[in-house]
Chain A
Amino acid sequence: MLLLLAFGLTLVYMGIADRVRRLIDMLIIQGVLLFGMAIVQLHHIDVLNLVIILLETLVVKAVVLPLFLLRVKKKNEISRVSTQAVSGFSKGLWMAVIIAFSFTAGHLLHESSDAIQAKYFSVGIASILTGIMLIVKHDKVLTHLMGYLVLENGIFLLTLAVGGEMPIIVNGAILLDIVLAVLVLGLIINRLSTSFGATALSHLSELKD
């Protein structure tokens, strides 16, 4: 429960943070928390799946990807999450709506089906929605990438909520998916910076009717 609460707090902080560095710090914390939750929830898991989850959370989500994002941030001199100032009140309001919606949905769905764990489900949905909010409300592609990672963390929580283990090949593919997507997108951000001289979405609008 404490781990979930801490995860929820990182989401709120990410929702209102202004600096890219803060978002990366939160991603590191989320990686560690996810590992803790996986250990608590999946105690009967087999060794190979455990290794993959260890790799996915502690190694990839808490170390490799944040380090890579820090490198991209430094190389492209990105410090703020958005080029335009978004009011803290508006962000806070959005986060309040997301959390209220997630817990209501989790509660209602738990009532209709006992196959899910409401707490994990609610925080998972909140994480997915926060990820989507980070993508929609900000115009920098690096923030979008971090929003995608928050969304993926939400999916990880949903797998814990439904209690079903995915086949090992799917778990491996999820891990590969995250690593490849982030590495490829990170490299593209570097190229975007070189080609367009900026990493804001407004510059990526040449493809149109």
Chain B
Amino acid sequence: MIALYLFIALCCAALAFGIKQRWASVLAVLAFLSTQLGLNFYAWGHLNQNDSIYFSFDALGFIFTSVLSIISLPVFYNSYRMLEHQTGEWADKRKASLYTAALIILVAVLTSVYFADNYGILWVLIEVSTISLAALIYFYRTKLALEATWKYIFLSSIGISLVLISLLFLNVAMHRESGASLHISAVLENAKNLDPLWLKVAFALMVTGLSTKMGVFPFHTVGIDATMVAPHPVNVLMSTALKNAGFVAVFRLYQAVMETSIAEWASHVLLLVGLISIALAATQTQRTQNLNRMLGYSGLEHVGLALVGLSLGQIGFYAAVFHLVLHSFAKAGLFLQMGQVNRIYDHHFPEKNAAYFHSNPIGSLVVLLGYIGIMALPPSGLFSTELMIFSQLAAQKQWWVLVLVLFLMTIVLLTLGRQVMNMLYGIKAQIKTDVAVVKVDALEIIAQITILGLMIYIGFNPPVFLVDLLNQACVR
């Protein structure tokens, strides 16, 4: 089924790219979104079943695919509005068609990453995501976009090379007992027989290499630089679905590692990476004035916290996966609204965006809600997952970690809060008279509020089926 899905996605991308007309792009997107939702329902009906030898519809994959499918709808709509705004009457057809095709491919490969049951295939798909993202980051064709694209491709290629070396070592770790299979389920089944030394090296390289995708230390800068210049719908995917894809890949290997004698070592590695990421987020947000960049650092903080959660064992697994689900909704709502801000003003800096409440009151409420969401302040759903992680840290008596994390997260909360308030109300409550009150696209606002509402609702009242899925995902 996933092979068919990828084939249809490729056809849709070819249609958008080949026929450089608005109708072709719209048709391609509609066909692709139908396929995406179709695959989601198919996966729901075939949960815990294999799909060819390379893919498997497991709970973890299903959860993140569902998140991506939900987010994809407003992302494509927002992209449509952006392309209209950017290109007038779809004037720059080449640029718009390349953007649409690359976006379709990106969503398709990320979906496939979630369901991949083979490390080799997973590596190939992550590689493809880099190329399609490069085309999207370079959308505005500016000097900054060029610089970001160069850095993104180059560092991602290095990261992907490290992942490839990790797979080679994983192969060595498996040799003795179970042959040279790179199947994720085979690695998990034979975890106890894996050579600990080679597994250690493989795990460390996997975490380092995939940090370009997860957006955590040490390769976190590439994603943040890209966030500064990429179109906002692309930022949504980079800050949510892409991070989730990197997390899924690491989580699958970590589950196998947890069955071995190096489990404690691996959890220390994740704890360290998580803590450094949160610390970097806290220090770097102080240095930047750019709200997009700040939101990028907020992503660094949240994935860092998810890694801290992972290091805490079973309950931590649950909290980490759930945290990333809710973070995806919160960040998506906020970045989609930032796209609207970008269309109202042609710049990003909050000082110049002062008095946004005057220009766009409903949009401002979305920004406020999004800020509350990503900062995990009640009623944000993230409050419940952070509470789970903190409780677990307290239960394990890791007091110094708990205090450090709380301290660093408070710094991010205050710094980001200052910038958001500055953007909404203005430095001296001044009202920019040169910016007219704009007419807001109701559909975009409805989508943003729905996504943020979902984050609040499922955070505090998670449906039974979601809890079951999360439990299944964490005990595989």
Our verdict on whether A and B bind, yes or no, reads yes
Least CB distance, B221 to chain A, in whole angstroms: 9
A170 to B127, CA, bound (A): 11
Q: Is B295 an interface position by the 8 A CB rule? A: no
Is there contact, CB below 8 Å, between A159 and B131?
no
Given contacts A113-B195, A115-B172, A155-B164, contact A204 B153 (CB under 8 A): no
Given contacts A192-B146, A196-B143, A206-B147, contact A185 B172 (CB under 8 A): no
Judged by DSSP, the binding face of B is: helix
A207 to B296, CA, bound (A): 13
Contact of A207 among B124, B144, B195, B197 (CB under 8 A): B144
Chain A, interface size category, equals: 35 or more
* Interface residues as binary, B279-305 with A (CB distance below 8 Å gives 1, 0 otherwise): 000001001101001000000000000
Is there contact, CB below 8 Å, between A207 and B154?
no
Is there contact, CB below 8 Å, between A209 and B120?
no
Q: Is A174 an interface position by the 8 A CB rule? A: yes
A residues within 8 A CB of B150? 141, 185, 188, 192, 204
Q: Is B158 an interface position by the 8 A CB rule? A: yes
A residues within 8 A CB of B408? none
Least CB distance, A187 to chain B, in whole angstroms: 10
Q: Is B212 an interface position by the 8 A CB rule? A: no
Closest A residue by C-beta to B174: A164
Is there contact, CB below 8 Å, between B168 and A162?
yes
Q: Which of A159-209 contact B (CB under 8 A)?
A: 159, 162, 164-167, 169-170, 173-174, 176-177, 180-181, 184-185, 188, 191-192, 195-196, 204, 206-207, 209
Given contacts A113-B197, A173-B123, A181-B157, contact A162 B146 (CB under 8 A): no
B residues within 8 A CB of A169? 120-121, 124
Closest A residue by C-beta to B180: A164
Is there contact, CB below 8 Å, between A209 and B288?
yes
* Interface residues as binary, B155-196 with A (CB distance below 8 Å gives 1, 0 otherwise): 001101100110111011001100010100000000000010
Q: Is B100 an interface position by the 8 A CB rule? A: no
Is there contact, CB below 8 Å, between B165 and A155?
yes
Q: Is A139 an interface position by the 8 A CB rule? A: no
Is there contact, CB below 8 Å, between B124 and A173?
yes
B residues within 8 A CB of A135? 158
Is there contact, CB below 8 Å, between A162 and B229?
no
Is there contact, CB below 8 Å, between B154 and A191?
no
Q: Is A98 an interface position by the 8 A CB rule? A: no
A112 to B197, CA, bound (A): 9
Closest B residue by C-beta to A148: B157
A residues within 8 A CB of B120? 166-167, 169-170
Contact of A206 among B118, B143, B168 (CB under 8 A): B143
Is there contact, CB below 8 Å, between A207 and B229?
yes
Is there contact, CB below 8 Å, between A159 and B134?
no
Least CB distance, A197 to chain B, in whole angstroms: 11
Closest B residue by C-beta to A176: B127
Is there contact, CB below 8 Å, between A184 and B134?
yes
A62 to B140, CA, bound (A): 35
Least CB distance, A44 to chain B, in whole angstroms: 14
Closest B residue by C-beta to A207: B225
Least CB distance, A39 to chain B, in whole angstroms: 20
A residues within 8 A CB of B197? 109, 112-113
Is there contact, CB below 8 Å, between A164 and B148?
no
Q: Is B457 an interface position by the 8 A CB rule? A: no
Is there contact, CB below 8 Å, between B146 and A113?
no
Contact of B165 among A128, A176, A192 (CB under 8 A): A128
Closest A residue by C-beta to B285: A209
Additional pairs, 11, CB under 8 Å, beyond known A148-B157, A206-B143? A115-B172, A128-B165, A144-B154, A155-B164, A166-B167, A169-B120, A173-B123, A185-B150, A188-B150, A192-B147, A209-B287
Instruction: Mark B residues whose CB is within 8 Å of A.
Output: 118, 120-121, 123-124, 127, 131, 134, 143-144, 146-151, 153-154, 157-158, 160-161, 164-165, 167-169, 171-172, 175-176, 180, 182, 195, 197-198, 225, 228-229, 284, 287-288, 290, 293
Instruction: Mark A residues whose CB is within 8 Å of B.
Output: 109, 112-113, 115-116, 128, 135, 141, 144-145, 148, 151-152, 155, 158-159, 162, 164-167, 169-170, 173-174, 176-177, 180-181, 184-185, 188, 191-192, 195-196, 204, 206-207, 209
Minimum-distance CB pairs A-B, first 10: A209-B288, A209-B287, A173-B124, A170-B120, A164-B180, A207-B225, A164-B171, A181-B157, A115-B175, A115-B172
Sample 7 A-B pairs with CB under 8 A, ordered by A number.
A145-B154, A148-B154, A152-B161, A170-B123, A174-B164, A192-B147, A195-B143
